[in-house]
Amino acid sequence: MTNKAPMTMTQKILAAHAGLDFVHPGQFIEAGLDVCLANDITGPPAALEFEKMGGGDVFDCTKVVLTPDHFTPNKDIQAASLSKALREFAKEKGIVNYYEVGQVGIEHAFLPEQGLVTAGDVVIGGDSHTCTYGALGAFSTGVGATDVAGGMALGKSWFRVPSAIRFVLRGKPGEWVSGKDVILSIIGRIGVDGALYQSMEFAGDGVAALSMDDRFTIANMAIEAGAKNGIFPVDTRTREYLAAHPCTAPGMEKHPREFAADEDAAYDSVVEIDLSALRPTVAFPSLPGNTKTIDEAAALSVKIDQAVIGSCTNGRFSDMETAARILKGRKVADGVRCIIVPATQQIYLDCVRKGCAEIFVEAGCVFSPPTCGPCMGGHMGVLAEGERAVSTTNRNFVGRMGHTRSEVYLASPAVAAASAVTGVLTDPGTLV
């Protein structure tokens, strides 16, 4: 009997952070945290729970990150009160990584951009899309406010070690097929609880064909398959990204640690994905797993009232460039509103400097500052009864973007931009 047993990438990161040589699926462990994150919706209740846990100092004032990004710039008085509570908590606890409106971006685009998360980290965040950082080879997962409070107090959190599904990616995606199409087609295949309690571990030669932005989008929506986390192996592209995005926060040093799954690690199942066979994919109401290819969708002539391009899923600069490529010299269709939301101030600035902003405004789009607003029906594009949106966000649940009888179709920036131009769900390949 040996105490060495093969582990998945996720299991190795968790074991290292729990001070253990080996962990097995189902085991309860306590792991140290590199980052504990909250926003303007989850931070204020976490602050209340933190005081109930005895208050005092947070475990490390550089490792708590607070991002007022959801209802900001404040949409109403109650939202302003939440932001104020978050700001006061940050000030009282001396939290270094509190980012005010004007600096802050949508958290899951912002943290990697600012180098606040690196390979090998363990991150919990009071936001379900915290799983995004798996793109960097980190273990990251969403939790509720009380868990955030516990993380801020102890610098540790309990986890049940997950088993994993291995997704072997092969080949290269075709033109207009992006990370969004990869993850939507996977969720369509395995279902919205297809990876419940499990890790989604990506592997195969197809990984190298995916940009970091594609990987962020894919890891971001692991939660939409019920997963605890989604994670990519660390490769040249990861290392280049990390080198280009150093952490400059005062007193916070980040040291990437590369973990790789053992060759003989056990997986609950293995799913092969041929990237070259994928088509742009759209999730119809009201589940992210309710997918059709753009060819099936376009044949249905689905009229839209609004297109939203942005969010933690698809608000990165490459998403903006894709939208600009399609919108350049064109106009948004009559009767359609197109709302474009770059995810961070840096991306906003890049859009201005590199000409995307001008293209958007000339095409008749709204060009918004960073905010999560429209994704969950908060502000900046709420839908009325009977209205229909194509959106690059991550959820199309009943009432997600507004009225319970409004509809959301999830798609890539290319599909959303092409649909904004025609007014119906459109294959970008037929437009350009």
Partner 1 sequence: MGKAYKYGDNVDTDVIIPARYLNLIEPADLSKHAMEDIDADFVRTVKPGDVIVAGSNFGSGSSREQAPIVLKESGLAAVIAPSFARIFYRNAFNIGFPILESREAASAIEAGDEIEIDFAGGVIANRTKGETYQAEPLPEFMRGLIESGGLVDYVKARR
Q: Is residue 70 a contact residue for partner 1 (CB under 8 A)?
A: yes
DSSP letter, residue 402: B
Q: What are phi and psi of 148, to 5 degrees?
A: -60, -45
65 and 148 Cβ atoms separated by less than 8 Å: no
Tell me the closest approach of the beta carbon of residue 317 to partner 1, in angstroms: 26
Helix axis angle, 317-327 to 413-422, nearest 10°: 30
356: helix, strand or coil: helix
Work out the number of other CB atoms within 10 angstroms of the CB of residue 100.
13
Q: Is residue 149 a contact residue for partner 1 (CB under 8 A)?
A: yes
Q: Is residue 154 a contact residue for partner 1 (CB under 8 A)?
A: yes
Residue 426, Cβ density class (10 Å: 0-12 exposed, 13-18 middle, ≥19 buried): buried
Q: Is residue 366 a contact residue for partner 1 (CB under 8 A)?
A: no
Q: Is residue 79 a contact residue for partner 1 (CB under 8 A)?
A: yes
Tell me the closest approach of the beta carbon of residue 63 to partner 1, in angstroms: 16
Q: Is residue 180 a contact residue for partner 1 (CB under 8 A)?
A: no
97: helix, strand or coil: strand
Tell me the closest approach of the beta carbon of residue 291 to partner 1, in angstroms: 15
Which of residues 290 and 426 has its CB atom nearest to partner 1 in the complex? Answer: 290
Longest dimension (CA), the chain: 71
x/- contact string, 217-256, with partner 1 (CB under 8 A)?
------x--x-x----------------------------
Q: Is residue 397 a contact residue for partner 1 (CB under 8 A)?
A: yes
DSSP letter, residue 65: E
Q: Is residue 269 a contact residue for partner 1 (CB under 8 A)?
A: no
Which of residues 40 and 213 has its CB atom nearest to partner 1 in the complex? Answer: 40
Query: Footprint of partner 1 on residues 398-417 (CB under 8 A)?
Result: 398-400, 404
Q: How far is it, in rounded angstroms, from Cα 318 to Cα 214?
A: 9
Q: Is residue 147 a contact residue for partner 1 (CB under 8 A)?
A: yes
Q: Is residue 61 a contact residue for partner 1 (CB under 8 A)?
A: no
Among 33, 35, 104, 153, binds partner 1 (CB under 8 A): 153
Show contacts of 206-209: CB within 8 Å, 24+ apart.
Answer: 206/168, 206/169, 206/170, 206/171, 206/172, 206/273, 206/275, 207/169, 207/232, 207/233, 207/235, 208/235, 208/236, 208/237, 209/169, 209/171, 209/172, 209/173, 209/275
Among 17, 108, 180, 395, binds partner 1 (CB under 8 A): 395
219 and 210 Cβ atoms separated by less than 8 Å: no
Which of residues 16 and 152 has its CB atom nearest to partner 1 in the complex? Answer: 152
Q: Is residue 387 a contact residue for partner 1 (CB under 8 A)?
A: no
Query: Footprint of partner 1 on residues 276-305 (CB under 8 A)?
Result: 287
**DSSP E strand boundaries for 171-240:** 199-203, 229-231
Tell me the closest approach of the beta carbon of residue 182 to partner 1, in angstroms: 21
Q: Which of 208, 48, 191 is nearest to 126 (CA)?
A: 48
Q: Is residue 107 a contact residue for partner 1 (CB under 8 A)?
A: no
Residues that bind partner 1 in the complex, under the rule CB under 8 A: 26, 28, 41-42, 44-45, 48-49, 52-54, 56, 70-71, 75-76, 78-79, 81-82, 125-128, 130, 142-147, 149-150, 153-154, 158, 160, 192-193, 196-197, 223, 226, 228, 287, 376-378, 382, 395, 397-400, 404
